[in-house]
Structure 1
Amino acid sequence: MQQVQSGDTVKVHYHGRLTDGTTFDSSEGRDPLEFQVGSQMVIAGFDNGVMGMVVGDKKTVHIPVDDAYGPKNPDMIIEFPKEQVPADMPLEVGMRLNLNNSQGQVVPVVITEIQETAILLDANHPLAGEDLVFDIELVEIVGAPSRIIMP
């Protein structure tokens, strides 16, 4: 049976959770996730986790912070002046907002603290600083680069 190698395009079903068991994402009820292994389309730990699997294999992969979304970066905490927030906009800790950076790109943020004159916004990925656990099932190896196998 063909094992997954770097460069293969694969389809997987997955269930992602934090180490406390909280689910953060799952492909249940959706089409399998399709990606090219080794192309940095998914986090490194997930990429490495499918290597060597064969169609039908199921496994649980524990991914440390550094192979997931990395540690929380304190430089990604933004102090935003309250005076720049529309007066009729209710603010709550945990609320998700989108800001535009200087290049016009949308940056998702979460309100972490509301102060008298400012709000603190966290622009880190929501899973930054977390070890992750994925249950992975390899559904299909869609395509693989041509390989010459020598006897």
Structure 2
Amino acid sequence: MKELPIDQQTRVTLHFALKFSDGEVIDSTFDKAPATLEIGDENLPENFEAYLMGMKAGESNSFQVPPEKAFGQHNPSNVQTFKRREFSPDMVLEKGVMISFADARQSELPGVVSRVEGDEVEVDFNHPLAGRTLTFDVEIIDVEPVGAAH
């Protein structure tokens, strides 16, 4: 059973760390309980799942993930400029502040203020990790078929 490779229809228990290429940790389970997920359940982006395919319990690896396989390249057309009056008067608008917008389908769309100048507020809707090469460290603890008794 321990020889089952990671594939569709498997439940994986693993430790992972996501880091910037300089080693700064973005997210990690190595200092807490491991994560358990089913391949294809969207807990992990599909491109990250692809790195795990074929790994077995007891294996570890470290992957360099280019922006195209991580959160995409930074897209200049995802940066929008608004007028100050379009925001409520008591809202703090300064660089780095995250604001939640509703898109046309009323889904939540987070944006980060990238510039405030006079009456203009520039908001960046790119994923905060867009354009970054990331290091994805994994240690596979267990691989089970989905539907197996716990």
TM range (shorter): 0.7 to 0.9
Q: After superposition, where does 1:83-98 map in structure 2 within 5 Å?
A: 83-98=85-100
| CA–CA distance in structure 1, aligned partners of residues 31 and 109 of structure 2 | 28
Q: Root-mean-square deviation (CA), in Å?
A: 2.1
Quote how far apart the aligned CAs of 1:21 are.
Answer: 1.3
Tell me the distance in 2 between the aligned counterparts of 1:40 and 1:89.
Answer: 33
**Residues 88 and 124 of structure 1: CA distance in aligned 2, closer, same or farther (over 3 Å):** same
C-alpha distance 117-62 of structure 1, shift in aligned 2 (>3 A): same
For residue 115 of structure 2, what is the aligned residue in structure 1?
113
Distance 1:88 1:37 in 2: 44
Q: Does 1:35 align with 2:37?
A: yes
Q: Aligned to 2:85, what secondary structure does the other structure show? A: helix
Runs of 4+ in structure 1 over 4 Å off: 38-41
1:22 is matched with 24
| Aligned: 1:5 with 2:3 | no
Number of residue equivalences: 146
What are the residue-to-residue correspondences of 1:38-117 with 2, within 5 Å? 38=40, 41-117=43-119
1:149 is aligned to none
Distance 2:102 2:32 in 1: 31
Percent identity among equivalent residues? Answer: 26
* 2:139 equivalent among 133, 137, 140: 137
- Deviation for aligned residue 1:24: 0.9
Please state whether the residue corresponding to 2:138 is helix, strand or coil: strand
The Cα offsets for residues 105-148 of structure 1, whole Å up to 9 and x where unpaired, read as 11111000002122111111111111110110112213258xxx
SS of the residue 1:86 aligns to: coil
5+ residue gaps, structure 2, are none
